[in-house]
Amino acid sequence: MIHITLPDGSQREFPGPVTVGEVASSIGAGLAKAALAGKIDGKVVDTSYLIEADSPLSIITAKDADGLDVIRHSAAHLLAYAVKDLFPDAQVTIGPVIEHGFFYDFSYKRPFTLDDLVAIEKRMSELAAKDEPVLRRVLPRDEAVAYFKGMGEHYKAEIIGSIPAGEDVSLYREGAFEDLCRGPHVPSTGKLKHFKLMKVAGAYWRGDHRNEMLQRIYGTAWATKDELQQHLLMLEEAEKRDHRKLGKELDYFHMDEHAPGLVFWHPKGWALWQQVEQYMRHVYVDNGYQEVKGPQILDKGLWEKTGHWANYRDNMFTTESEKREYALKPMNCPGHVLIFKSDLRSYRDLPLRYGEFGQCHRNEPSGALHGIMRVRGFTQDDGHVFCTEDQILDECVAYTTLLQKVYKDFGFTDIIYKVATRPDNRVGSDELWDKAEFAVMESLRRSGVDYIVSPGDGAFYGPKIEYTLKDAIGRQWQCGTMQVDFNTAERLGGEYVTETSGRAHPVMLHRAIVGSLERFIGILIEQHAGAMPAWLAPVQVSVLNISEGQADYARDVAKALQNQGLRVNLDLHNEKITYKIRKHSMQKLPYILVLGDKEKAAGAVAVRARGNLDLGVMSLEAFSQRIISDIASKV
């Protein structure tokens, strides 16, 4: 007898081996129809999987996260099936699941066009409508290599050839198409109904630029039509909010081929930058941080001591002078240790908090660069706290509270908390890692927030808390971090005098709230669709005259507002007022003041708020109070 234990604790008994699909059928016809896969001891398997011993089992449907992965994995194979059907001499390579969808790489004699994508998607729908069963079989490695070579699929043969000799591989067939895959897959193509092909791009075989350039077709797939439509609407909205597009339209910044991965900030963009930096500088001061500044270039020997040379060398820019090797700093931590150890410290000095707007450089692959979101040169609001073990929890709890306030001021209230634990390539003893991991988890428990654990994702020198924001359209951005590090200060010889006049190494807490200022500003641009709240807006108000007769009055109004610390643009150009209003509205300004003869005579201003909202005529004092209130309340 086979006993199957279901998630609710109930058991079902079968006289012999039974498939996942048969268990689903025994529960109900509706579940049997909805079943996409099963989960046994944490492993997702096909509905055809034969259970031969007592096992726990969950039936996976489209409502489950695992079910959505199965749908997307199967949709990638359906894409390959359609491509081979339409373009028989195309060769298939790999097709994994990615966030929100899937892709598949192909080798083909000519580039796929947008018309090709339309035809491929149409063929995918036709193949799905045939509801062909998806069947699994297993072959010995060498037999599978010969099988795919015989079909002319040399990439598949190469992939299988890299598998150790003697191992078996699994293949999945749907209709006339068979592909190498571990699985699992949906029971039949009819389960795939809500998908769309998005774009085609280039990708090197095995990610190596020395290999052939393949064609990568991206797609998305969802459990329901509504979810697919919501995703497509989100993408449409994201395109409107793209910081690269808005950065150009609003004249914030540009990128140039003479400095790949580096940002040229224009006056308005730099004004926005300064608002973020000055806000964070006040955060430093208000929370006991002393601002410091370290050098950009440091000797190779320092990076060897920290472990960066061994673990991070490929991502560092290096140079040489007088037969000494140096590296542009990819992070600020070692410099802060050198500042700490430049003088004799006492336990009475701890916790000692350093903050720096530190410029860093990392040699990111060119294909990974993305506007100002992913760059090679960036500035961090980097802070390091040197403390004792007894002070870790209080520091971490206080930091989470501070971070929540900062994010709220910038317009983010939805935060995801994740703890990343020890990786394989770590430095330091397991005992110290145990203490560090306990500290970060306990600090979040004391902060009263829920968190998830991401095993093995910590830095090589310590575990970390990652703080991820959700933006206005639901996208997630990992920005803040807190890392507990028992290793770096010790490796660089940082120490303090204890209460008993002995010597001890401080614990080093690495923390950043916005992280990369470049990336965070990109996120802000997309969060607000370029319409920055008044306190952040590079230009807070534009003053426009209707005719030359109000030019002097307009100058006086602009000067009065500037004297209150407001960022003002004065437009005295001899152009129609409707044109001037439209031009300044396109810049997404919080306020536009229009001055005609009536306003001049009354010593007043006609106020237009963002969104073409006419607020009427008011005194300059009343307008000043309004905008200053907006700035104070961060709206």
**Catalytic residue IDs:** 333, 362, 380, 382, 384, 464, 510
Cα 344 off chain centre by: 41
Q: What is the DSSP letter of 590?
A: S
The number of beta carbons lying within 10 Å of the beta carbon of residue 44 is: 20
Instruction: Establish how many alpha carbons lie within 13 A of residue 263's alpha carbon, considering only the half-sphere containing its beta carbon.
Output: 32
The residues facing 263 across adjacent strands are: 255
Rounded to whole angstroms, the Cα distance separating 440 from 396 reads 7
Of the candidates 375, 405, 401, 415, which has an alpha carbon nearest to the alpha carbon of residue 256? 375
Q: What's the burial of 55, exposed, middle or buried (CB within 10 Å: 0-12/13-18/19+)?
A: middle
459, two tokens: 């830095």
Check: CB of residue 447 under 8 Å from CB of residue 401: yes
198 three-class SS: strand
Rounded to whole angstroms, the Cα distance separating 247 from 37 reads 45
In residues, how long is the chain? 635
Of the candidates 271, 268, 289, 270, which has an alpha carbon nearest to the alpha carbon of residue 280? 289
What is 35-83 written as a DSSP string?
--EEEETTEEE-TTPEE-S-EE-EEE-TTSHHHHHHHHHHHHHHHHHHH
Q: Is the link from the previous residue into 15 a cis peptide, with omega within 30 of 0?
A: no
Instruction: Establish how many alpha carbons lie within 13 A of residue 223's alpha carbon, considering only the half-sphere containing its beta carbon.
Output: 14
Check: CB of residue 217 under 8 Å from CB of residue 106: yes
Check: CB of residue 496 under 8 Å from CB of residue 502: no
Rounded to whole angstroms, the Cα distance separating 508 from 489 reads 7
Long-range contacts of 298-302 (CB under 8 A, 24+ apart): 298/326, 298/327, 298/329, 298/334, 298/335, 299/324, 299/325, 299/326, 300/324, 300/325, 300/326, 300/327, 302/334, 302/338, 302/492
Check: CB of residue 24 under 8 Å from CB of residue 6: no
According to DSSP, the β-strands at 37-40 and 58-60 are antiparallel
